[in-house]
Amino acid sequence: MRPSLIPARAFFGKGRLQPMKYSSAIKTVSVVGSGAWGTSIAQVIAENNPGADTVMWAYERSVASSINRSHENAEYLPGVPLAPSIRATTNIRDAVRGAEVIIVSTPSKAVYETCQKMARYLRPDAIIGFLSKGFCKIDNQVLTISQTIARALPSHKNRVIAVSGPSHAEEVSRRYHTCLNVAGADHSARRTVAELLSCDYIQCRELDDIIGVEIGGTLKNPAAIAAGMISVLPGCGDNLAGALMSEALKEMLRLGAVFKSKPETILDISGLGDLVATALSEHSRNRRFGKDIARQILTREPGLSLADKIILKFKPDLVIHRLSKGLHYLAEGAYAIEPLIDLAVRHNIPIPVYRSLYEVLLNKKNPTLLIETIKNPQKFEELYRNTKIHVSSRKKGLETVRGAVFRAKIEARIDSSFREAGPEIRSAEMMHDLVSAAEAAGYRFTSREHTVIKDMSAGGASAALMKLSRIYLDDIIDNYNSVFRWFYVNSQKMHFSFHPLVKGKVHLSVAGDTVKIQTLHRSSNIIYLPRFKSSFDFIPSILAISKSGLPFPRFYVPENTVRNVRDRYLVKKAGGFIVDENRFFNQIYKQTLHHYMATLLEHGVPVMVCSGSSPGRNFVMSAAEFTAVIRDVMYNHTVDIMIVPMEFSETGKGDRSGDGLKNISTGDQMVRFLEPITLSDYTDTTAPEKNLQGIIEQVWA
């Protein structure tokens, strides 16, 4: 179908280009979402239709306040005066009730939930336009935005209209000439939306191929992220950008065929036109996002400055807060292409360029994968198999900071993990299920835990989760002091004086390539993984590490080895974190321990975690759980991790039954450092996480 064009009528007055006025029966228009593009569209509608009431819904109170008070969206579109007739609200009911046309402009991941919230307030004949671009995954189905809105608002599905095209908010707000596709099945509905927007600088082209318009508008965004990335990466320029757009367009056409869209629609302004504008323009947020990611990939983290080292002694939390901002890059655009990859896999459609971008963003593959795939898409599978994760420099200078200083970051990670798990994990029912499961496994809650659980109300499950996590963190977290650690290690060398373990002299010797471990540690965060034969083997382990001059870790101390308050205090001051193996039936406890260790590792603090068990007692995390800790750090923070296995042997009188060293009277104790394992070497395959877990299982076996 040939696009029908709304005539562009204009007149000039007082030397200024004036918007075209329509005599329209529309009296109330609502724009749901107050980003830059939604605000620009609200301004266009208000200028074109001065007699209509234009209402904006804003998620942030500060944005609504700025629009109402100063007639400017200072947060997302600063410096652009808005029409006085535009008013903003944070109440979805007030925004959409009575509106004849609603324009949805939220991020794609919020579209479904937002439409559900406004469903009960809509007029039966309301037209639902949308500016949002992306896919949504609902009930294991990948849906376009129009399909998502139709799912949330089935009574309005025939009056859903897409508005898309090369249209940077910065240019529209300055009245630059712009072309838009307005697409939908209902001719009257799309004509109404086109009339609301058409003026002397905006030309609307009406189409009935709404899916084709959406596919183009959605798929150009990841391509623009890729364009931004290669504009910064070494050896990349306009030549490669041209190849990128050519390959991206091919993949857009292949995916469009899945939804039975018309090829000519994807070659129109909302497809090819939007791809070129978004991929090349400095106005493009997606391009800027790609450039920011590439710059962070290329940035090598510096060590602490002299000023930082001084401040670290007195205000360590200030230094950690500043350095943590640059610890990793967030693949915020990944959620937009994750459903896309799912869609391609389900329909067996080759999209190597989009897949390579996905792997760089989400799985932190080296960006050379993207470059080489653009150059030769047919070799993607081979390139993927041979590409490791990108590794940034190791964070240095925080090795001596006590764990308690990281507490706020640890708690934030725990809270975030609970939120990401969904509302069901924070429900009272789920909390009671967790408690019941732990008790059925033999765990007995302490009085402090019982108090939190007892006081938990139906609406207080989230607070209860965090309260329990804080209790567990109190028990686990170290309070490291380097001076005290020196005294502790030397006292243990002399007589194992804090534990009456031996009757005679035990000589400790060390073996292994410690020079290689020191060399690899320059670029890798280190995990010592001794295989304990006794709960007390943490003592010879840390003595061996100290004797070898290797980086001293925060070390795993089984709770049954610290029998009183004094022992706990001394061990924690030396850098020990105390782990109660009886609590491993408790998932909240395990999550707390997980995030404690992950936070230390991501900040470059060495960690020692035991492997093995004493008779009748197992005090290790499973290989899968330990792999989750490592993966969390490696892939979220692009740091390499080196595992150093350790093993024990001894000669002399006595044996290691029961409490271990207690029954050795004289003899030699040897701690051997085995060949270190650099885990990035195992990320160049199709199943890196399984490989990592397999390596850990081999070490523990």
Helix (H) or strand (E) holding 689: helix 688-700
472-502: pLDDT as tens digits: 999 999 999 999 999 988 888 775 444 444 4
Q: Dihedrals φ, ψ of 168, to 5°?
A: -70, 135
Residue 640 has pLDDT above 80, yes or no: yes
Reduced to 3 states (helix: H, G, I; strand: E, B; else coil), residue 119 is: helix
pLDDT of residue 286: 87
Average pLDDT over residues 453-479: 80
What residues have CB less than 8 Å from 295, skipping those under 6 apart?
232
Domain count, the chain: 3
571-608: pLDDT as tens digits: 999 999 999 887 877 788 888 999 999 999 988 899 99
Instruction: Between 516 and 616, name the one with better pLDDT.
Output: 516
pLDDT of residue 419: 73
Average pLDDT over residues 435-448: 74
Q: Are residues 480 and 361 in the same domain?
A: no
Residue 327 has pLDDT above 70, yes or no: no
Look at residues 677, 670, 671 and name the one whose alpha carbon lies nearest to residue 697. 677
Q: Are residues 196 and 266 in the same domain?
A: no
Global pTM reads 0.72
pLDDT of residue 449: 81
448 within a domain of the structure (yes/no):
no
How many distinct helices (H) and strands (E) make up the chain? 29, 23
Of all residues in the chain, the percent with pLDDT exceeding 90 is: 48
What residues have CB less than 8 Å from 557, skipping those under 6 apart?
538, 571, 576, 577, 578, 579
| DSSP structure string for 430-474 | HHHHHHHHHHHTT----HHHHHHHHH--TT-HHHHHHHHHHHHHH
- pLDDT band (50, 70, 90) for residue 656: very low
Q: Are residues 190 and 223 in the same domain?
A: no
Q: Are residues 228 and 299 in the same domain?
A: yes
pLDDT of residue 51: 84
pLDDT of residue 364: 84
Residue 328 has pLDDT above 50, yes or no: no
Instruction: Between 500 and 455, name the one with better pLDDT.
Output: 455
221-260: pLDDT as tens digits: 999 999 999 999 999 999 999 999 999 999 999 999 988 9
Lowest mean pLDDT among 41-45, 282-286, 484-488, 681-685: 681-685
Look at residues 539, 566, 550, 554 and name the one whose alpha carbon lies nearest to residue 593. 554
Whole-angstrom distance, CA of residue 542 vs CA of residue 93 = 62
Residue 18 has pLDDT above 90, yes or no: no
Distance of CA 20 to the CA centre of its chain: 45
Residue 296 has pLDDT above 50, yes or no: yes
Q: Are residues 264 and 190 in the same domain?
A: no
Q: Residue 564 has which token pair? A: 């009183």
- Decide which of 355, 372, 387 is a domain's last residue: 387
Average pLDDT over residues 306-322: 56
Residue 1 has pLDDT above 70, yes or no: no
For 98, counting Cβ atoms within 10 Å of its Cβ (0-12 exposed, 13-18 middle, 19+ buried), the class is middle
pLDDT of residue 337: 79
Residue 689 has pLDDT above 80, yes or no: no
Instruction: Between 669 and 652, name the one with better pLDDT.
Output: 669
- pLDDT band (50, 70, 90) for residue 53: very high
Reduced to 3 states (helix: H, G, I; strand: E, B; else coil), residue 340 is: helix
Q: Dihedrals φ, ψ of 530, to 5°?
A: -75, 150
Catalogue the active-site residues: 220
Q: Are residues 186 and 269 in the same domain?
A: no
**Which of 335-339, 413-417, 429-433: highest mean pLDDT?**
413-417
Residue 166 has pLDDT above 90, yes or no: yes
Instruction: Between 654 and 510, name the one with better pLDDT.
Output: 510
Q: Are residues 125 and 255 in the same domain?
A: no
Mean pLDDT of the chain: 82
Q: What is the CATH number of the domain that holds 528?
A: 3.40.1130.10
Q: Are residues 361 and 260 in the same domain?
A: yes
405 within a domain of the structure (yes/no):
no
Lowest mean pLDDT among 403-407, 663-667, 690-694: 663-667
258 within a domain of the structure (yes/no):
yes
444 within a domain of the structure (yes/no):
no
Residue 515 has pLDDT above 80, yes or no: yes
Q: Are residues 199 and 230 in the same domain?
A: no
Residue 696 has pLDDT above 80, yes or no: no
Q: Residue 617 has which token pair? A: 């007692």
pLDDT of residue 429: 65
Residue with tokens 């076996």: 701
Q: Are residues 15 and 144 in the same domain?
A: yes
What range defines the domain where residue 292 resides?
A: 217-387
Average pLDDT over residues 272-296: 90
341-397: pLDDT as tens digits: 888 989 999 999 999 998 888 788 899 999 999 999 999 999 998 888 887 766 777
Q: Are residues 140 and 159 in the same domain?
A: yes
Q: What is the CATH number of the domain that holds 130?
A: 3.40.50.720
According to DSSP, the residues that pair with 532 across neighbouring strands are 612
pLDDT of residue 458: 47
Contact 329, 296 (CB under 8 A): yes
Alpha helices by DSSP H, listed for 231-280, are 238-258, 263-266, 274-280
- Decide which of 324, 358, 387 is a domain's last residue: 387
